[in-house]
Structure 1
Amino acid sequence: MTSTGGPLLLLDGASLWFRAFYGIPDKITAPDGRSVNALRGFTDMVASLITKHSAARLVVCLDLDWRPKFRVDLVPSYKAHRLDTSTAAADGAEEVPDLLTPQVEMILEVLAAAGIATGGAAGLEADDVLGTLATREGTDEVVVVSGDRDLLQLVRDTPAPPVRVLYAGRGLAKAELFGPAEVSAKYGVPLANAGRAYADMATLRGDASDGLPGVAGIGDKSAATLISRFGSLEALVAAVEDPDAELAAGIRAKLRAADEYLKAAAPVVRVVCDAEVELSRPDLLPTTPADPDRLRELAAAYNAESPINRLITALGARTA
């Protein structure tokens, strides 16, 4: 593929529409009374990102399985606290606000009419789609947009093209752009392998939001120090069994007690980078909507004329 001159934007769909849902009052409704706050907010996010980054390509990445079996088999607590245990969702579906669920389909309708690609991989999370598309990109710079810090493991300078993560945990207005240098500086991990080192550090410290307990007594600072000293989680685990390794007795004991957890959690934290991703359409952004009539119908039906017009303007500006 020839470079398009702009970055490939990879958006973590659920992460962003959850933030749109909670960031905009749900009193905003369609003419039929349905809430459209997430739809409006998400559409504005996409328009803003296209404009700010002069993007030429974009994929909204989807969870086809938000809690993959291989991760649950390894760490049963993985995202278990997010399960909807109501009778209506006895199959273990993710707990999603009632007013958000129907808006996801609305968002997908708007994306399709606009001509914006979505991507998913059977049995895997959006993280794995993001990881695969970012890793295999060989032409344009990649900007991954998510509120999930785990995706900082994807940053790279080499091999080219670079991969950056726009971390939007506090919303797009306060989003931070991370490359290897920024990840290394903020989290104290080695610059040479900052992305992988971040994943190793996250495995050690754990992540309550994902149901990962981490190693008891190991926090952010000590986890970063250990990974910096030994270079990788694998080297650290090997050092635990090496009596000549310079490792404090207390730390050695904590790590030895967590040996089974560490072996299981490492592949849970690391995103899949070789998934079979299916795209709804090519990732090149159109300069005009794929189906303008349908997009106008949706704008009226969902009381979303303003954000959809901003999206159309953002697409059209690429021709200037």
Structure 2
Amino acid sequence: MAERPQKLLLLDTASLYFRAYFGVPESMTAPDGTPVNAVRGLLDMIARLVTDLRPTRLVCCWDDDWRPAFRVDAIPSYKAHRVAVEVPGTTGLEVVPDTLSPQVPVIVDVLAALGIARVGVPGYEADDVIGTLVAREVAKSADRAVVEVVTGDRDLFQLVDDQVPVRVLYTARGIRDLETVDQARLQEKYGVATGSGYADMAVLRGDPSDGLPGVPGIGEKTAAALVHRFGSLVEVLVARDAGAAGLSPTQRRRLTESAAYLAVAPAVVRVAPDAPVGDVDDRLPNVVADAEALVALAERWGLSSSVKRVVDALALG
């Protein structure tokens, strides 16, 4: 029997457990009445993804720092509106629903007992972990895996690369109806031909949900048109500085007035390809790592049915 092709599945875990939290009723509780809707929802997602996509490798990528200092130092407004409490010497705390926060350690414990790799890096977001693991896969000359990134965050469209291939499975319509984002989809929906082009467009457009101002007066369509016309953000700025044809006087003025933003924004928008991620055993386990702990967790938190679905999915090999 032929060996299955290598497929690396990278999960933007917080994106998924936030979705689970808001999509699964809080009436899903542990025996003591504690809500476990995010835990159960995430486990059910993982079971379905493993069953449907049949990865050989899997990593739950983690936000050790959802608002890294290097991004805030460059653009202080980065995610500033989502800060709940400012703590001296830190970048603050994200606004998280009261009944979600206690569920996150349970997720950590269950993933460990299952033996599913969970990777975060101090000072970096899950996006950076994903970007680094993708970069490592791209750099391989042999035994390169197909990479699929599951996320509800459009920022990760910048990683799309048909040559590897790297695809984003976008959860906007739910886990049961994932949108596959490849280069053809980027061209069709956004007018940019590559993941890198998407990042350049995102710099120009900005993103209010992340506190990124963008270039005032340049929306998504204009940003995509400029990247298409000149080939990259770098070439757009070369044309701006050279007074080249192809930019209207208004566009040149707006790009010039936003020079300070444009000097730092690419490093904020682009995911880090070189975060200090250690060696990762990302092999998909077909036997759980700690059966005794897993049984105890399932009983303590009322997770037996969801845990069983994951274990059955892993056993498919």
Partner of 1:295: 294
How many residues in Structure 1 have an aligned counterpart in Structure 2? Answer: 310
Distance 2:33 2:67 in 1: 32
Moved more, 166-175 or 4-13: 166-175
8 Å Cα contact 1:78/1:211 also seen in 2: yes
1:91 Cα deviation after fit: 6.8
Letter in 2 for 1:21: Y
1:293 Cα deviation after fit: 1.7
Flag as ranges the 4+ runs of structure 1 deviating above 3 A. Answer: none
Distance 2:174 2:18 in 1: 10
Distance 1:83 1:244 in 2: 42
Structure 2 residue 184 is the aligned partner of structure 1 residue 181: yes
1:74-153 pair list within 5 angstroms: 74-85=74-85, 92-137=92-137, 138=140, 139-153=144-158
Distance 2:159 2:244 in 1: 33
Letter in 2 for 1:173: R
Distance 2:103 2:269 in 1: 29
Task: Look up the SS of the partner of 2:148 in the other structure.
Answer: strand
Deviations 1:27-70 (A, max 9, x none): 21101121100000000011111111111110000111111111
TM-score, normalization by structure 1: 0.93
Distance 2:127 2:202 in 1: 15
Query: Percent identity over the alignment?
Result: 52
Letter in 2 for 1:282: D
8 Å Cα contact 1:84/1:94 also seen in 2: yes
Where does the alignment leave 5 or more consecutive residues of structure 1 unmatched?
Answer: none
Q: CA RMSD in A?
A: 1.8
Deviations 1:69-99 (A, max 9, x none): 1100110000001101389xx9721111111
Partner of 1:254: 254
Distance 2:70 2:173 in 1: 30
Distance 2:246 2:21 in 1: 49
Task: Look up the SS of the partner of 2:102 in the other structure.
Answer: helix
Task: Look up the SS of the partner of 1:184 in the other structure.
Answer: helix
Letter in 1 for 2:74: L
Deviations 1:5-39 (A, max 9, x none): 24100001111101100111112110112110000
8 Å Cα contact 2:67/2:91 also seen in 1: no
Distance 2:174 2:262 in 1: 32
8 Å Cα contact 1:145/1:166 also seen in 2: yes
1:174 Cα deviation after fit: 3.4
8 Å Cα contact 2:199/2:269 also seen in 1: yes
Task: Look up the SS of the partner of 1:101 in the other structure.
Answer: coil
Task: Look up the SS of the partner of 1:121 in the other structure.
Answer: coil
